[in-house]
């Protein structure tokens, strides 16, 4: 029997005008450090997640102009969705599209300081409380 070839996700790569600066911002969002080999001015910077997947930020010459074709959905681990949105706005995110509904469901689409969209959903505790 022939074993099929498969792939794994090694890195999620994000284009950036300043890879170290935006990696530093995402480091605050995720509560994870930038890789110790990365320094300001480097053409790339990385954050390694506990599951081994990496967020790799790579310098590109152009600014972001269009909607992302791929984005991250964040789920707060120890706070509510609304508290997490407030925290992220406090460190430099901007609200792009608010899809929160009166029943507590929904999400908020934010942009990081370079304009990349990402969403914040309800946390697991909130989902359980409204189920």
State pLDDT tens for residues 1-28. 777 888 888 899 999 999 999 999 999 9
**pLDDT beyond 60 at 131:** no
What is the spatial distance between Cα 50 and Cα 40, in angstroms, rounded to a whole number?
Answer: 23
What confidence tier does 60 reach under pLDDT thresholds 50, 70, 90? very high
Q: Map tokens 């608010």 to a residue.
A: 98
Average pLDDT, the chain: 92
Q: How many angstroms separate the CA atoms of 6 and 42, rounded?
A: 32
Q: Is the pLDDT reported for residue 107 higher than 90?
A: yes
- Average pLDDT of the residues in 34-56: 95
- What is the mean predicted confidence (pLDDT) over 44-58? 94
The one-character DSSP state at 104 is S
Nearest to 71 by CA among 122, 111, 31, 39: 111
Does residue 78 have a pLDDT over 60? yes
For the segment 73-100, the average pLDDT, to the nearest whole number, is 96
Question: What is the pTM for the complete model shown?
Answer: 0.87
Check residue 129 and give its pLDDT.
66
Res 130 pLDDT > 70: no
The full set of domains in the chain, from first to last, is: 1-63 (3.30.720.120), 64-131 (3.10.180.10)
Task: Give pLDDT, residue 8.
Answer: 83
Six token digits for residue 89: 């706005």
Sheet holding 108-111, edge to edge: 72-74, 117-120, 108-111, 94-98
What's the rounded Cα separation, in Å, for the pair 7 and 4? 10
């Amino acid at each position: 029997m022939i074993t099929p070839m498969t792939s794994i996700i090694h890195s999620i790569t994000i284009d950036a005008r300043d890879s170290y600066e935006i990696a530093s911002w995402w480091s605050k969002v995720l509560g994870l450090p930038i890789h110790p080999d990365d320094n300001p001015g480097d053409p790339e910077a990385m954050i390694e997640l506990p599951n081994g997947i990496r967020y790799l930020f790579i310098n590109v010459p152009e600014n972001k102009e269009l909607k992302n074709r791929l984005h991250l959905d964040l789920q707060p681990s120890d706070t509510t969705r609304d508290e997490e949105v407030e925290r992220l706005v406090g460190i430099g995110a901007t609200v792009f599209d608010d899809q929160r509904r009166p029943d507590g469901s929904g999400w908020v689409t934010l942009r990081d300081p370079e304009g990349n969209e990402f969403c914040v959903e309800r946390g697991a505790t909130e989902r359980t409380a409204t189920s």
